[in-house]
Amino acid sequence: LAKTTQPISMDSYEGQEVNITCSHNNIATNDYITWYQQFPSQGPRFIIQGYKTKVTNEVASLFIPADRKSSTLSLPRVSLSDTAVYYCLVVYNTNAGKSTFGDGTTLTVKP
Amino acid sequence: DGGITQSPKYLFRKEGQNVTLSCEQNLNHDAMYWYRQDPGQGLRLIYYSQIVNDFQKGDIAEGYSVSREKKESFPLTVTSAQKNPTAFYLCASSFQSDGYTFGSGTRLTVV
């Protein structure tokens, strides 16, 4: 099972681009990479999902290199409201229940 | 609106009691999950179910029980065998390999 590793914390300033990298060395061929955002005392919220190369939606981009052993969540022009914990999750396509959340990255955006 | 509902939001348990946390979804998702989150920690998988009348243990199933009699419902019972049940409990659902949809959580406290 692919274990994920992320930095424990990151600091940024309003208006900057933030890149959070996750490593998942044992990712399998059919696995997907997903990212979630969690505010205190709330359930995580799905941000983006990808399999390879680059995926972009209205809130973030996800970069996945060819070997898929890592991924980078990119948040453009962060604001104070982006202060949250961000989780990388590898979803096992054949048995999604085996997916395991890591400890996440606490992003603090400063004015 | 489609979503996943957890109740109650706060729950207090006396030592030696069993308590049941409710989780209902109207998203027509096949898979449902229960996670436990301790302060400052990531999410740990308790149980998951990929189909009605079937469920599997996650990483920390001891002291917990579940049932999946209906597609929409996946209640979690915290039994007296769970020695340290104080935590934030999150229910989630998913369809195939799509992202997870989480509920707003139940905060359980032992008094």
B81 near B19, Cβ under 8 Å?
no
- Contacts with A93 from chain B: Cβ below 8 Å: 97
B19 near B7, Cβ under 8 Å?
no
Select the residue of B31, B97, B104 nearest A43 (Cβ to Cβ).
B104
pLDDT (tens digit per residue) in A59-86: 999 999 999 999 999 999 999 999 999 9
A15 near A78, Cβ under 8 Å?
yes
Which backbone phi and psi does B4 adopt, to 5 degrees?
-125, 130
Q: How far apart are the C-alpha atoms of A93 and A31, rounded to whole Å?
A: 5
CA distance B48 to chain A (A): 6
pLDDT (tens digit per residue) in B41-94: 899 999 999 999 999 999 999 999 999 999 999 999 999 888 899 999 999 999
CA distance B46 to chain A (A): 10
A3 near A101, Cβ under 8 Å?
no
The residue of chain B nearest to residue A86, with distances taken between CA atoms, is B42
Size of interface A-B (CB pairs under 8 A): 58
Is B42 close to A101, i.e. CB distance below 8 A?
yes
Q: Name the band, by pLDDT with cuts 50, 70 and 90, for residue A95.
A: low
Q: How far apart are the C-alpha atoms of B17 and B53, rounded to whole Å?
A: 26
